[in-house]
Amino acid sequence: MIVSWNWLRDYVDLDMEPAELTRRLAMAGLNHEATTAIGDDLAIDLEVTSNRPDCLGHVGVAREIAVLWRVPLRVPDPTYPQAGSPVSDLVQVSITCPSLCYRYTARVVRGVRIGPSPAWLANRLRTLGLSVINNVVDISNYVMMECGQPLHVFDLHRLAGQKIIVREALPGEQFAAIDHRAYPLEPGMCVIADAERPVALGGVMGGVDSEVSSGTTDLLIEAAEFAPLSIRTTARKLGLHSPSSYRFERGVDSLGVDWASRRCCQLIARLAGGQCAPGVVEAGTPQATRPIITLRLSQLPRVLGIDIPPEEVEFILTALGADAVALHAGRVHLTPPSWRRDWTREIDLIEEVARIHGYDKIPEDVGVPMAPSHRTHADRVLEKVRLAMTASGFDEAMTASVVPRPWCSAFSPWSEAEPLRADVPMLKGADSLRKSLVPSLLEARRINESVANDPIELFETARIYLPQPAGLPYEQWTLAATGGGDFHALKGIVETLLDVLRIAPPLAVAASTQPLLDCVTQTRLELAGRCLGYLGQVSGEALRQFGLRNPTSVLELNLELLCELANLAPQQRPLSEYPAIARDMNLIVDESVRWAQLASSIRTAAGPLLETLEFREVYRDPRKDGDGKKRLLFSCTLRSSDRTLTNEEADAVRDRIVQACGQQHQAVLLS
Amino acid sequence: MALADFLRQLDELSRTATVTFAAVQDEASWEAARVEFAGAKQGRLKALQKLLGQVDPAERPAAGKRFNEVKAELDGAMAAAQARLQAPAGGRRAAPRPEFDPTLPGRRMRLGRLHPITQSIEELKEIMGRLGFSVADGPEIEDEWHNFEALNIPLEHPARDPLDNFYLSAAGASHGPLLLRSQTSTVQIRVMEQTAPPVRIISLGRVYRPDTADATHYPMFHQMEGLLVDQQVTMADLKSVLRLFATSYLGSDVHIRFRPSFFPFTEPSVEADFNWNDQWIEFGGAGMVDPHVLRAVGYDPEVVTGFAFGLGVERLCMRRHNITDIRDLYRNDVRFLHLF
C-alpha cells in the first residue's frame, strides 16, 4: 500500500520526520518498503499483512499514526446535498447469490459533467501510481484509497431496465471487460448484471458497455461487499488482479461500505456537479452486531511476560476504534470496530495492546529454564554414515525431491507403483515424487561431467516417496551414491558402513534385474534376509539416457534398515595378549567357485584360531593353470587367546584349509 | 661364557652410553666419552668384542646379532651428540640432502565434503540441542489437517490456494487431498498430538512452495522450526531463546528486535530481527502459539502457553558463506561443494 504524505495530513497532524514516521509504523506492524519523492509529495510504500485490510486506505494508516503519537484523527463527514427523486424510484437491486455477495448498495447522481479531475486530486492519485482518467472514475479510486472500500460507477443510462442483479455466472457465459477483452465466466464467479447481460464482474472488473465515458451524465454508484474467496478465485482464474480485487480478497469493512458510497457522492457533487438522489437502494444483509470481547488483564503478563498499566490498555483499544470500552475488575470489555475483523478473541486484543505498547518493552534476558535434549538414534546413525561417506571421498549432494516422470521408470527398485504426481510441476518438466535418489545423482553427475570435474563421487541421504494403497505415502530414508569406481569400489563403501555401524548380520548378495544397471554386475544386497539395497554398474544404455560419458557405479541403500540394525554402543571383548601369526595362501580354483563359498570353507577348516581372513587378489594365468581357472590369494591371521602359536601349529591350520578347499572346491595350493 | 651374561653386559653398555652421550655438553666431553665407549684399543665395546669369542659357539650367532645392534646404537648416539653440538643454538642443523625435497606436496586423502546446507542444519541442531530443544521429525507429504487446519489456516486463507502449494493428484482418498508440506510447522502438530506438554522441539527439513527458481527463490528449501509449550511460557522467553540462539550462532552478543507480523498459527506474531554489525538482519517469523492451535491438538490454552519460531536455513547458509545464487546449492558441482 502506497500512501501519500500530503494526503495523510488531511486526517492526522504529521509533526515528525518521514523517517521517524516509517520507523515507528514498522515497529507497529506496517513494514516500510521505500519512500519516493513525487513532486512536492512523498510516496511511502508500506507492507500491509493480510490480516490488516483496514490499512489499505489512508484513513486506516492515519489511525495507526494517531494512536502511536496520541494525536487526534480527523475522519471526514460524508454528508452531501440530496434532491429530486429518491434512488429507490430510479433503480432496483437484487442479490441472487448471497454466498458470493453479502451486501450491495446503489446511489444515483444525475447531471454530472465528466471532465478532468482537479490538480490536487490528480496529483494524489499520481503519487500512488494510479492513472488519472476522468473526474468521476478518479473520485471512485480516490475514495477507495481513502478508506479501502472499492467502488464502481456505472453509466446509469447504459444499464438495461435500470436494474442491478447480482448473480452467479452461468456456464459458458462471456463478459466484455473495460480492457475490451472477452472473458469466459463460470459458476462460482459473481456477476453484476442489468436486465439483459453482465455489466461487471463483481469486485474484479467493470464492463466495457456500462463504463463512464465523456458523454455520461447519470451515474449509479456501487458499493458492495463480496465474498473474499470467490473474488480471489475469480481474479486468479482470469488473471485480473486489481486494487479492487486485492481489497475484497482481504475483506472490507462492512460498515464502511455505506460511508464510502456517501463519500463518493459528496465528492462527485462537489467536483463533477450533478444532483444526488436521496437515499440508497440496498440488498443483502448488513453485518450482524459483533460480540463483546473480554480481555483479562492478567493474561497480558501471562502471554507477553510484561505488565502493561490498565489505563494504557484502555487507551490503546479505545484509540484503535473499539466501542464501549469498559474496565472492570481486572477485565476490559469492548465491542470491536467494524474495520477490525481480525479482533475476535482475547488473544487478538493482547496482540494489539502489545504492538502499540511496543515489543521493545519485552526483555530479551529472562532466565529460560534448562531442559535436557536428546539426539535421536536416526540422527546419530546418519552422522556416522555421513562421516564414513566423506572419509571415503564422497561429496554430499542435495537434489530436488520432485523429478521428471521418465526418471521414475528408469530406476525404481523399491516400489512398482506409479509415482505420486504434483499438480504443479516443481521445476521445468518435473512433477513426479521420486522413488529413488539414483536418477537425481546421475543428473548431478552429468552436470559435473559437463564442466570436466574429476573425480565425481557423490552421495545423498534423503527420503523417497513410495505410494501406499491408503493414507500417507511411505517416506523411506535412503542413501544413494554414484562413483567413478567399479562395482567393488562401491561394495567397499557398503562394507565400510556396516563396519562403522557395527552391524552384525553378514552382507549377502542376490540376483537383481534393474534395467538401469548392467546385467552382469547388478546385485541386490541383503542383511538378515531383508533387502538392504541395490548396487551395480550403470548400463551403457542408461549412461546414454542420462547423457553420461564415463562409466559409473551406483548404490542405493535403505537407511532405515541400517538404522534399525546399527549398534551404537558396541561392547568390549577380551583381546589376546599373544602375538598373531600369518599364513598367506594362493589357491587355484575353477572360475565358478565364488569367494564366499571358499571363505566359508576356510573359516570352518581353520577353526577358532582364525582371527581374520583377508582376500588379497584374484589372478588368472591360463598358460600355467589352464582355461576356466583363477587364483585366489588370501591371508589368514591366526591367534590364540592362551598361548603363542608355534609355526607348526600355524602350518597345521594352513594344511587343514588347503585340504578342505581341495575336497570341497577342488582347489589346488600354488606352492 | 654364558650367553645371558654376555647380553647383560651389552645391555649395560648400551644404557650407559646412551645416558653419557645424551649428557655431553662440549667437544671435549664428547671425545672423552668416545674414547671410553668406542676407543679402538681400550674402549668398552672393544672389550666386549673380545669376550664374544668366549661365548658358546652354538649361541654365538645370537650374541653376535645383539653385539652388532648395540654397536649401531652406540654409533647413533655418538652421531646424534655430535650433530647436537654442531647445530646452531636453538635448533638442529639440517644435514644437506639435496635429494630430499620437503616442498613436494604430501600424500593427501581425498575427503568428501558435507553439503553446506547439511553443515548449517547440523550447526542449528547442535546449538538448539544445547538450549534444550530435541529434534522431531515428520513427513514431507502431508494432509490438509496438519498442513493447514490444525495450524489455524482455514479454507478461505490465501495460503491454501492450489497454485501456491504442491497438491498431489489422485492421492490420499481417505485423508482428503495430500500435498508437499509448505512449512515444517506440520511437525509441531504431529508432536503435540502425541505428546503431553511440556514440549520443547525443533524440526528441520525440506519444505516446498511453487516459486519460479531464480537467484533468491527455489521451490524446495529448508526450514528450522522451534516450539516450546509449557506452563508460564511468555514472549520474553521467546525473545531470550532467540537471543541465546543468535548469540551462539554468531559468536558475540546479539540483540533481538520484534516487529509485528501475521501468521495464522501464532498470535501475537512477529518478525524477529537480530542486530549484527550495527545492522538489523531478518531472522525469521515467530510468535506465541495461537490458542486455536493449542486446542486443535487437545491442549488447554488456559493451562499452557507456548512459542514457536521458524527460519529459512538457506538464507542463513547463504549469508554465512556469501552464496549469492540459491540454485548453486542444488547443482551439486563438486568444485562448489569443495568450497565449504
The CATH number of whichever domain residue B218 belongs to comes to 3.30.930.10
Q: Which residues contact B291 (CB under 8 A, 6 or more apart)?
A: A345, A347, B267, B301
Q: Is residue B102 part of a domain?
A: no
Q: Is residue A74 part of a domain?
A: no
Cα B108 to the center of its chain, rounded Å: 20
Please state, in angstroms and rounded to a whole number, the distance separating the CA atoms of residues A148 and A141: 10
CA-based nearest residue to A455, from A552, A365, A583, A310: A552
- Three-state secondary structure readout of A154-192: EEHHHCHHHEEEEEECCCCCEEEECCCCEEECCCCCEEE
CA-based nearest residue to A554, from A448, A478, A454, A483: A483
Q: Mutation test of the interface with chain B: which of A294, A368, A390, choosing the one with the most B Cβ atoms within 10 A?
A: A368
Q: Which residues contact B123 (CB under 8 A, 6 or more apart)?
A: B249
Could you say which of B38, B71, B86 is where a domain stops?
Answer: B86
User: From the CA of A376, how many Å to the nearest CA of chain B?
Assistant: 7
Amino acid B164: pLDDT: 87
User: From the CA of B287, how many Å to the nearest CA of chain A?
Assistant: 10
User: From the CA of A485, how many Å to the nearest CA of chain B?
Assistant: 14
Number of domains within chain A: 5
Q: Is residue A590 part of a domain?
A: yes
Q: Are residues A536 and A607 in the same domain?
A: no
User: From the CA of B219, how many Å to the nearest CA of chain A?
Assistant: 6
Quick check: B58 pLDDT over 90? no
Please state, in angstroms and rounded to a whole number, the distance separating the CA atoms of residues B217 and B210: 10
Number of domains within chain B: 2
Can you read off the three cell numbers belonging to residue B140?
514431507
- Whether residues B335 and A453 touch (CB distance < 8 A) is answered with yes
Which chain B residue is nearest to residue A394, measuring alpha carbons? Answer: B112
Read off the pLDDT band of B121 (50, 70, 90). very high
Q: Mutation test of the interface with chain B: which of A51, A341, A364, choosing the one with the most B Cβ atoms within 10 A?
A: A364
Q: Is residue B305 part of a domain?
A: yes
Question: Cβ atoms within 10 A of the Cβ of B152, count?
Answer: 20
A117 in helix, strand or coil? Answer: coil
Q: Are residues B39 and B180 in the same domain?
A: no
Residue ranges, chain A, pLDDT below 50: none
**B72-85 b/e (C-beta count within 10 Å ≥ 16 → b):** ebbeebbeebeeee
Q: Is residue A46 part of a domain?
A: yes
Which chain B residue is nearest to residue A463, measuring alpha carbons? Answer: B140
Q: Are residues A338 and A257 in the same domain?
A: no
Distances (CA, A) of A62 to A2, A7, A534: 13, 10, 67
Amino acid B242: pLDDT: 96
- Whether residues B140 and A401 touch (CB distance < 8 A) is answered with yes
Q: Are residues B77 and B152 in the same domain?
A: no
Q: Are residues A559 and A586 in the same domain?
A: no
Phi-psi region of A128 (alpha: psi -120 to 50; beta: other; left: phi over 0): alpha
Percent of chain B with pLDDT over 70: 96
CA-based nearest residue to A556, from A481, A468, A650: A481
Please state, in angstroms and rounded to a whole number, the distance separating the CA atoms of residues A321 and A263: 20
* A309, amino acid identity: P
Name the DSSP letter for residue B105. Answer: P
Q: Are residues B66 and B122 in the same domain?
A: no
Can you read off the three cell numbers belonging to residue B339?
568450497
Q: Are residues A417 and A490 in the same domain?
A: yes
Q: Which of A236, A345, A424 is nearest residue B291 as measured by Cβ atoms?
A: A345
- Whether residues A362 and B236 touch (CB distance < 8 A) is answered with yes
Q: Is residue A517 part of a domain?
A: yes
**A522, A504 in Cβ contact below 8 A?**
no
Please state, in angstroms and rounded to a whole number, the distance separating the CA atoms of residues A235 and A249: 9
Q: Which of A375, A447, A470 is nearest residue B129 as measured by Cβ atoms?
A: A375
Cα A530 to the center of its chain, rounded Å: 36
Alpha helices in A423-532 (DSSP H): 438-450, 487-500
Quick check: B172 pLDDT over 60? no
- Whether residues B240 and A365 touch (CB distance < 8 A) is answered with yes
A182 - beta bridge partners?
A: A176
Please state, in angstroms and rounded to a whole number, the distance separating the CA atoms of residues A509 and A39: 79
Q: Which of B140, B236, B257 is nearest residue A363 as measured by Cβ atoms?
A: B236
CA-based nearest residue to A32, from B200, B327, B214, B271: B271
Residue in the block written with cell 521445468: A428
- Whether residues B240 and A363 touch (CB distance < 8 A) is answered with yes
Which chain A residue is nearest to residue B139, measuring alpha carbons? Answer: A475
B324-334 mean pLDDT: 96
Q: Are residues A185 and A305 in the same domain?
A: no
Q: Are residues B51 and B158 in the same domain?
A: no
**A286, A371 in Cβ contact below 8 A?**
no
Full domain range(s) for residue A316: 293-360
Which chain A residue is nearest to residue B262, measuring alpha carbons? Answer: A49
B138-142 mean pLDDT: 94
- Whether residues B180 and A422 touch (CB distance < 8 A) is answered with yes
- Whether residues A354 and B175 touch (CB distance < 8 A) is answered with no
Q: Mutation test of the interface with chain B: which of A298, A370, A383, A395, choosing the one with the most B Cβ atoms within 10 A?
A: A395
What's the pTM? 0.84
Amino acid B90: pLDDT: 55
Read off the pLDDT band of B5 (50, 70, 90). confident
- Strand A331-335 to A323-328 pairing: antiparallel
Could you say which of A312, A327, A360 is where a domain stops?
Answer: A360
Read off the pLDDT band of B170 (50, 70, 90). low
**B160, B148 in Cβ contact below 8 A?**
yes
Q: Mutation test of the interface with chain B: which of A30, A300, A362, choosing the one with the most B Cβ atoms within 10 A?
A: A362
Q: Mutation test of the interface with chain A: which of B201, B239, B323, choosing the one with the most A Cβ atoms within 10 A?
A: B239
**A317, A325 in Cβ contact below 8 A?**
yes
Q: Are residues B142 and B56 in the same domain?
A: no
Q: Is residue A222 part of a domain?
A: yes
Q: Are residues A112 and A259 in the same domain?
A: yes
Q: Are residues A509 and A606 in the same domain?
A: no
Name the DSSP letter for residue A372. Answer: -
CA-based nearest residue to B28, from B93, B81, B91: B81
Q: Are residues B243 and B126 in the same domain?
A: yes
Full domain range(s) for residue B222: 116-337
- How many Å from the N-terminal Cα to the C-terminal Cα in chain B? 69
Read off the pLDDT band of B173 (50, 70, 90). low
- Whether residues B162 and A423 touch (CB distance < 8 A) is answered with yes
B193-198 mean pLDDT: 95
**B302 touching A, CB under 8 A?**
no
Q: Are residues B134 and B225 in the same domain?
A: yes
- Whether residues B156 and A228 touch (CB distance < 8 A) is answered with yes
Q: Are residues B183 and B312 in the same domain?
A: yes
Please state, in angstroms and rounded to a whole number, the distance separating the CA atoms of residues A626 and A1: 88
Chain A residues within 8 A of B129 when measuring between CB atoms: 373, 375
Could you say which of B48, B66, B86 is where a domain stops?
Answer: B86
User: B51, exposed or middle or buried, with CB in 10 Å at 0-12, 13-18, 19+?
Assistant: middle
Q: Are residues A433 and A561 in the same domain?
A: yes
Q: Are residues A183 and A36 in the same domain?
A: no
Could you say which of A317, A333, A360 is where a domain stops?
Answer: A360
Question: Could you say which residues from 167 to 186 on chain B have a Cβ atom under 8 Å away from some Cβ of chain A?
Answer: 167-175, 178, 180
Which chain A residue is nearest to residue B328, measuring alpha carbons? Answer: A398
Amino acid B26: pLDDT: 85
Read off the pLDDT band of B171 (50, 70, 90). low
Q: Are residues B195 and B243 in the same domain?
A: yes
User: From the CA of A662, how many Å to the nearest CA of chain B?
Assistant: 41
Length of chain B: 340
Chain B residues within 8 A of A395 when measuring between CB atoms: 112-113, 115, 332, 334, 337-338
Q: Are residues B211 and B331 in the same domain?
A: yes
Taken in order A251, A253, A258, A259, the sign of the CA dihedral is negative
- The more confident residue out of A142 and B39 is A142
* A262, amino acid identity: R
ipTM: 0.90
Quick check: B98 pLDDT over 90? no
Chain B residues within 8 A of A481 when measuring between CB atoms: none
- Three-state secondary structure readout of A64-104: HHHHHHCCCCCCCCCCCCECCCCHHHHCEEEECCCCCEEEE
Amino acid B12: pLDDT: 87
Q: Are residues B73 and B121 in the same domain?
A: no
Can you read off the three cell numbers belonging to residue A621?
594365468
User: From the CA of A236, how many Å to the nearest CA of chain B?
Assistant: 9
Distances (CA, A) of A332 to A70, A129, A589, B235: 20, 42, 94, 21
